[in-house]
A and B are shown apart, each in its own frame.
Chain A
Amino acid sequence: MTINVNKEGEKLTIIPEGRIDTVTAPEFSKAIDDNIEGVKDLVIDFEKLEYISSAGLRVLLTTQKTMSKVGSMKLIHVSDVIMDVFNITGFVDILTIE
């Protein structure tokens, strides 16, 4: 997978490309952890994401817990396939999806 990172002041945009699965979830997690300091506005852009498994949901949950305390986090460009995953798992209720 490829992960593009854009940081402008307190705004961080993470754009993962490919799949977030058991193998790649640690990379996704690291891209967030390495850049999250001082961030109040986190945007995760799923436009180029094929799918996400529970290993990736773990990262989203941990990150949401962190961002809920210090600012905001939102997901954009979520495909139908990934939206189904969020619906099945109830993540639709705990994430902000635009």
Chain B
Amino acid sequence: MEITVPAIIENVEKVTAFVNAELEKINCPAKAKAEIDIAIDELFSNIANYAYNPEIGKATVKFEVQKNPMAVIITFMDNGKPYDPLKREDPNVTLSVTERQIGGLGIFMVKKSMDSVEYEYKDNHNILRIKKHI
């Protein structure tokens, strides 16, 4: 199953609703669902903010279920500027409140909460794939 939408921030909710409907069919536990929803917000908003800016392009989100072991695989695709968010340095999460920065925290959360996160650039497309065992 997949959905293709204009890569604008407002469509985060459309993509989340699409994925949640699929997660419901497989009785995904609430904690994994929340982690997946957060990952969608971080990854889709990255595409919306950076991939095509200032133009508006499209993003495709593909949902797959793997069995034995049971896992959800979600793939985000866009044909905007090549960008590998995994190359971004992890933020320092031990700084005090006054020194704290937010940059990089989103992708860091995705890396920590998913079982795998992979990026490739292929046929003019950014392809980011997350996998979560459920």
Enumerate chain A interface residues (CB-CB to B < 8 A): 19, 21-23, 50-55, 57-58, 61, 64-65, 68, 80-81, 84-85, 88-90, 93-94
Contact = CB atoms under 8 A, between A and B. Distances in A.
Contacts of B94: 90, 93
B106 interface: yes
A19 B37 contact: yes
Contacts, number: 73
Main secondary structure of the interface of B (DSSP, over half): helix
B108 interface: yes
A95 B47 CA distance: 30
A88 B113 CA distance: 9
B45 A22 contact: yes
B102 interface: yes
Contacts of B10: 23
A54 B102 contact: yes
Interface string B68-82: 000000000000000
A22 B98 CA distance: 23
B91 to A, nearest CB: 8
Main secondary structure of the interface of A (DSSP, over half): helix
12 contacts: A19-B37, A21-B37, A21-B45, A22-B12, A55-B106, A61-B102, A65-B98, A81-B30, A81-B34, A88-B113, A90-B93, A90-B95
Given A23-B13, A55-B45, A65 B34 contact: no
Given A88-B113, A90-B93, A54 B105 contact: yes
B22 interface: no
